[in-house]
Amino acid sequence: MLAQLVDYARLKGLGTEPGFTSKEIRWLVGVSPAGQWTELIPLDQAKTAPDLSQPDMMSLPGYLRAQGHTVEQAAHFLADTCAVVFGLPERDAAGNIRRPEEHAKNLQKHAAFRLLIQLAANDVPLLEPIAQALSDPQQVQAFLQKLEAQAQKRGPERLKSTDKISFFVNGRCVLDCPDWHDWWRQFRAHAFPRSGAQGQMPSFASGELVTPASTHPKVTRLGGSAFGHALVTYDKEAFESYGLSQGENAAVDELAATAYRAGLDALLEKAQTLGEMKVVVWYDREIPEEDDFFRDLFAPSSGEAEELQALERAHRVLQALKTGQAPPEIRNSRFFAAAMSPASGRVMVRDWQIGRLEDFVEAVTTWFEHLAIVRRSGDQSASLPGLNRLFLSLQRPKSPEQKLDDYLKPVKTLQVPLWRAALNPRLPIPYAAIAKIMESHTAEVMTGAFSEALQAQKPDAATLGRIYARMGLLKAYHIRKGESMSTALDPQHPSPAYHCGRLMCLLAQIQEAASESEINAGVVQRYYGAASSTPALVLGRLTRLSQHHLAKMAKDAPGLAYWFNTQLAQVWSALGSNLPRTLSLEEQSLFALGYYQQLAQSRKKETPQTQAPTTPSLFQE
């Protein structure tokens, strides 16, 4: 993964020099050539800034003290928080300073920050006004009041003590001026001399003999902690091997370490979320945006100005790749996919896959094909679910008061298998996912929420989306087990369980059509659970009862009764003479699919050519 990330960073021209990183700067403070603070400018932009790793930070005070300076704490150079640069305290609602020890430490860091600027200003004229302004306590105090006032504001204008701030000199942000780069390089080289086996170990990023960096810069865009997370780390003795120390355990030189961090941070910036993981996909060369299906995997129909459906688009690209219409460089390109999550300051790699672009597009196409399910009106396929939505559909919706962590806990182990299944058509859908779906689906059907969502005039999009996602995943599960499943109703389906589901749906419709008044608890609410697990026990009895409904119906609507009888006959003919006594969980999922697809079929508006004179459309969308 390291080699691929380094290549990506170079391909994208990302800043890969050690000692430099990209920081989100929230504010700039204007400095006049005479060394006066002028104004506070809101910025909210990522800028290239000096970087200090954790070991650098730890050794900085020692180095500065050795140079004869009085320093208690380390600070960053040129860009740091308002708490450090101006000593802005964090206050509570009553105006009292929160965490006074932290504030005292920040004041010590302020002194170190001022010292670094002062040292740099001796060689870099650009920084002289800043050093002058910082060394004037009255000026700093006056500007601090301005910051305090800004911190009292509400909304996006509010300044927080943890916001990063830098300086605006001569009409430019100092971070944009290369004047300080050389001083900073020299300072780092003196303050933090690199040790280790000089050029003696083969690099895991390039294979070349390198001097391994003992610690690597942290990834900052994974979320979870503002301090960042280390991808390659040997933080405890027990994880080191054969007397190797820290980074020697997997040699990567400092340059490559900075490059892979820059690449990973850039990818994490646009990462997708799956449960609690961040997932990224990238390629070994530039791919036209319309051929990148990574976003489609998570939001299949939300493409910008996208006219084609994700599935059609994927088919077109796949065709171009297979027939050689796509440019050769695209045909030969490879994809890299990683899933990761934060873990106590470390990056936990949950999955790592590589392969050909063609395989990736094919996987996406197959994934969508397997998930495609007829929509409630029975006329066409429902919109495809994004991967995260699909994952969240496995269980009941999250209640507002529930924490996301707690909500995800029961399905956490399914994140990686689902992600892998999406990227590899040969992998099965995990059985546990089906178990989870069946648990929540059966409950929803029996409370009536399922039928309500499907019959509502203006359905709740989230509820409907969840039903489509669940049905789609059940279908994908059976397809990947080698069974045949169609998007819409399949009267020839080989499984009796499937037809039992169809029968249950018809029986419920018969009851509904025959009843003049609203039914309190219909056969679905009363018997769905039992019918889906022990059909022989329930469905035979319900069929007998339905004859009374049909007899009643025959008086008022003989055509409808005839149509229902025809449908029942079709289902019974597909079922054969014996109803299954019990159904396993997998068969219960086929029951659910049969039930849903029969329901959708009943709601289908018949075209004039196919419409039989006596066939009613039971529910109009």
**Minimum CB distance to other proteins smaller for 347 or for 507:** 347
**Minimum CB distance to other proteins smaller for 267 or for 538:** 267
Helix (H, G, I), strand (E, B) or coil at 374: strand
- The least distance separating other proteins from the CB of residue 327, rounded to whole angstroms, comes to 21
**Angle at which helices 558-575 and 496-514 pack, to 10 degrees?**
160
- The least distance separating other proteins from the CB of residue 426, rounded to whole angstroms, comes to 7
- The least distance separating other proteins from the CB of residue 28, rounded to whole angstroms, comes to 38
The DSSP 8-state label assigned to residue 363 in this structure reads H
Q: What is the phi/psi pair of residue 39, to 5°?
A: -150, 170
Please state, in angstroms and rounded to a whole number, the distance separating the CA atoms of residues 501 and 445: 12
- The least distance separating other proteins from the CB of residue 335, rounded to whole angstroms, comes to 12
User: Among 53, 55, 110, which residue's Cα sits nearest to residue 81?
Assistant: 110
Residues in the chain: 621
The DSSP 8-state label assigned to residue 355 in this structure reads E
- The least distance separating other proteins from the CB of residue 102, rounded to whole angstroms, comes to 21
- The least distance separating other proteins from the CB of residue 266, rounded to whole angstroms, comes to 19
**Minimum CB distance to other proteins smaller for 183 or for 336:** 336
**Minimum CB distance to other proteins smaller for 248 or for 362:** 248
- The least distance separating other proteins from the CB of residue 225, rounded to whole angstroms, comes to 15
Please state, in angstroms and rounded to a whole number, the distance separating the CA atoms of residues 595 and 441: 12
Asked if 394 and 440 count as a contact pair (C-beta separation under 8 A), the reply is yes
**Minimum CB distance to other proteins smaller for 351 or for 621:** 351
- The least distance separating other proteins from the CB of residue 106, rounded to whole angstroms, comes to 24
Helix (H, G, I), strand (E, B) or coil at 210: strand
Asked if 230 and 345 count as a contact pair (C-beta separation under 8 A), the reply is yes
Q: 10 Å Cβ neighbour count for 154? A: 6
**Minimum CB distance to other proteins smaller for 126 or for 197:** 197
**Minimum CB distance to other proteins smaller for 355 or for 559:** 355
DSSP symbols for 24-81: EEEEEEEE-TTS-EEEEEEEEEEEEEE---HHHHHHHHHHHHHTT---SS---SS-EE
Q: Which residues are near other proteins by CB under 8 A?
A: 1-4, 197, 199-209, 231-239, 241-244, 248-252, 334, 343, 346-352, 354-355, 413, 416, 420, 426-427
**Minimum CB distance to other proteins smaller for 57 or for 209:** 209
Q: What is the phi/psi pair of residue 108, to 5°?
A: -70, -35
**Minimum CB distance to other proteins smaller for 27 or for 234:** 234
Asked if 224 and 342 count as a contact pair (C-beta separation under 8 A), the reply is yes
DSSP symbols for 531-577: HHH-HHHHHHHHHHHHHHHHHHHHHH-HHHHHHHHHHHHHHHHHH-S
Write out the H or E segment, with its range, that includes residue 323: helix 310-323
**Minimum CB distance to other proteins smaller for 9 or for 75:** 9
Which residues make Cβ contacts (< 8 Å) with residue 47, sequence separation at least 6?
A: 22, 23, 25, 79, 166, 173, 175, 176
**Minimum CB distance to other proteins smaller for 236 or for 555:** 236
**Minimum CB distance to other proteins smaller for 14 or for 416:** 416
- The least distance separating other proteins from the CB of residue 392, rounded to whole angstroms, comes to 20
- The least distance separating other proteins from the CB of residue 312, rounded to whole angstroms, comes to 29
- The least distance separating other proteins from the CB of residue 571, rounded to whole angstroms, comes to 39
Residue listed under structure tokens 């039930």: 595
Tokens for 334? 């490879």
DSSP symbols for 72-105: SS---SS-EEHHHHS-PPPB-TTSPBS-HHHHHH
User: Among 531, 536, 541, 542, which residue's Cα sits nearest to residue 588?
Assistant: 531
Please state, in angstroms and rounded to a whole number, the distance separating the CA atoms of residues 254 and 238: 24
**Minimum CB distance to other proteins smaller for 355 or for 448:** 355
**Minimum CB distance to other proteins smaller for 347 or for 390:** 347
- The least distance separating other proteins from the CB of residue 584, rounded to whole angstroms, comes to 23
DSSP symbols for 120-169: HHTT-GGGHHHHHHHT-HHHHHHHHHHHHHHHH--GGG---TTSEEEEEE
- The least distance separating other proteins from the CB of residue 346, rounded to whole angstroms, comes to 6
User: Among 180, 159, 144, 165, which residue's Cα sits nearest to residue 29?
Assistant: 165
- The least distance separating other proteins from the CB of residue 267, rounded to whole angstroms, comes to 17
User: Among 247, 271, 335, 252, which residue's Cα sits nearest to residue 6?
Assistant: 252
Tokens for 489? 């109703």
- The least distance separating other proteins from the CB of residue 196, rounded to whole angstroms, comes to 11
**Minimum CB distance to other proteins smaller for 432 or for 554:** 432
